[in-house]
Structure 1
Amino acid sequence: MKNLKTIAIALLVAASTTVATAQTKKVDVAKSKISWVGKKVTGQHTGTVNLKDGALVFDGKKLKGGSFTVDMNSIAVTDLTADQGKEKLEGHLKADDFFGTAKYATSKLVFKTIAAGKTAGTYTVTADLTIKEKTNPVTFDITVKGNTATTTFSVDRTKYDIKYGSGSFFEGLGDKTINDNFDLTVSLQF
């Protein structure tokens, strides 16, 4: 009986001294990169957009959360030069037809659920993505290795009231049709 009490007390002491191991790691926005690809019937355009801030939350080595703010005014086109219309396309992407950056300067991504993936260091995340004050869930796999996290996923722009050139909303666009989805490739350094 005395041994039982000793064990019970030891367990209570151990339980009371357990400290939460959750750790928030800020993302290095200068070293992190978000690349995008927008496709249309006649080709595609590529570019980048910058993180304003962000953090990943870990419990030990396991990913438990994350939130990010994107600077929408930083949208840049990388596949065109000035004489090919780079500035014109960047201006159009910032205009109300697309992201309306004068009014909606940032977009946000907040992790909601995280499940272990098929391989070590891989997680399936469902997050709330907010663009132009419209929030919709997105699901993607993210891989964490060392101080880097990477993911690639598609976003349906029409869910955020970005309908310009969408064959889902306008008829007769022909070769001016722009795909509803755009692809993001993200590399986070923390």
Structure 2
Amino acid sequence: MKYVIGIMIFAFVILAGCQVETTQTDIEVCDDGIVCEDDTEELVLPENANFVLDASRSDMVWKGSKIIGNSHTGEILIKSGNLVKDGEIYTGNFVIDMTSMTEVAKETAVVKHLKNEDFFNVEMYPEAKLMIKDITNSYVTADLTILDKTNEINFPTSFLYDGDKLYAMSSFEIDRTLWGIEYNSGSVFKDLGDKAIKDEIEFGLELVFDEN
């Protein structure tokens, strides 16, 4: 992607239709693009640790697809984020800049549509938020707020802590209809044919934190 992290090189090609590849790590990614359950290990950090996201070295990618037909992939900027360990409790807050959404193929009409009222309505809701509530066996439990609606999500994440920095890699998907995004949903509207869009939106995260 955009950078090389010490002993880790993350190649985020899953959301372009391929399997995620990792090198120089023991992280295995299954065929569905999710970090394999058997490869997740307990995240061990100092008793009281505070990590601040390095937004300039972190990436968030997305993929949306029609049920029959093409798909689109792009990036979204994470404005800020942190991860805190207080005793055995992990918490964190991330702010996602929805106005920054781009599309890899630079299809401006697609991005314009995603930003309007049919999808993310970024003029009224310019930010999404992810609030970490727990990390157990490297499974993250968090509240995701989009369009001022909040739902709990759970996803496996691979971590590496080198005593100074924390690296995290994950991929997950959400059902957009749970946040009220129903435009051309094949599960909501019948007989859409090749206009039907999948409810699932895929996301990939590649994050770098500095210990504070």
Query: What TM-score, normalized by structure 1, do the two folds share?
Result: 0.79
Say which structure is richer in helix: 1
User: Highest CA radius of gyration, 1 or 2?
Assistant: 1
Match of 2:76? Answer: 49
SS in 1 for 2:120: coil
Q: Distance in 2 between matches of 1:29 and 1:35?
A: 14
Q: How far apart are 1:21 and its partner, in Å?
A: 3.5
- 1:88 and 1:39 map into 2 onto residues whose CA distance is 15
Q: Are 1:183 and 2:212 matched, yes or no?
A: no
Q: Which runs of 4+ in 1 moved over 6 A?
A: none
Could you say which residue in structure 2 is the equivalent of 1:21? 47
What displacement does 1:69 show?
Answer: 0.6
The equivalent residue for 1:145 is 160
- Contact residue 92 and residue 131 of structure 2 kept, 8 A: yes
Secondary structure at 1:104 match in 2: coil
Which blocks of at least 5 consecutive residues in structure 1 are unaligned? 1-19, 117-122
Q: Which has more strand, going by share of residues? A: 1
Residue of structure 1 equivalent to 2:99:
73
By how many angstroms is 1:189 displaced? 0.7
Identity %: 38
Q: What residue ranges of structure 2 are gaps of 5+ in the alignment?
A: 1-45
When the two structures are aligned, how many residues end up with a matched partner?
A: 159
**Distance apart, 1:59 and its partner CA:** 5.5
Deviation, structure 1 residue 113: 2.2
Partner of 2:16: none
The answer as to 2:115 corresponding to 1:88 is no
Does structure 2 retain, via aligned residues, the 8 Å contact 1:56–1:63? no
Matching residue of 1:32:
58
How far apart, in 2, do the equivalents of 1:165 and 1:135 lie? 22
After superposition, where does 1:168-179 map in structure 2 within 5 Å?
168-179=187-198
Is the counterpart of residue 103 in structure 1 residue 124 in structure 2? yes
Question: 3-state DSSP class of the match of 1:77?
Answer: coil
Residue 111 of structure 1 and its aligned partner are, at CA, apart by 1.1
The letter for the 2-side match of 1:180 is: D
How far apart are 1:66 and its partner, in Å?
1.8
What is the CA–CA distance in structure 1 between the aligned matches of 2:183 and 2:171, rounded to whole Å?
24
CA distance in 2, matches of 1:133, 1:64: 24
**Could you tell me how far apart the structure 2 residues matched to 1:57 and 1:63 are?**
8
Change (3 A) 1:187 1:164: same
Equivalent residue, structure 2, for 1:11: none
Q: What is aligned with 2:35?
A: none
Contact in 2 for aligned 1:144/1:150 (Cα 8 Å): yes
Distance, in Å, in 1 between the alignment partners of 2:178 and 2:141 is 16
1:129 aligned partner: 144
User: In the TM superposition, what is the alpha-carbon distance from 1:63 to its structure 2 partner?
Assistant: 7.8
1:68-99: CA deviation from partner (whole Å, max 9, x where unpaired): 01000001001x24xxxx11111101001000
Asked whether the 8 Å contact 1:151–1:187 carries over to 2, the reply is yes
| Residue aligning to 2:25 | none
**Equivalents in 2 of 1:55, 1:48: separation in Å?**
20
What secondary structure is seen at the aligned counterpart in 2 of 1:110? strand
Alpha-carbon distance change, 105 to 59 in structure 1, aligned in 2, over 3 angstroms:
same
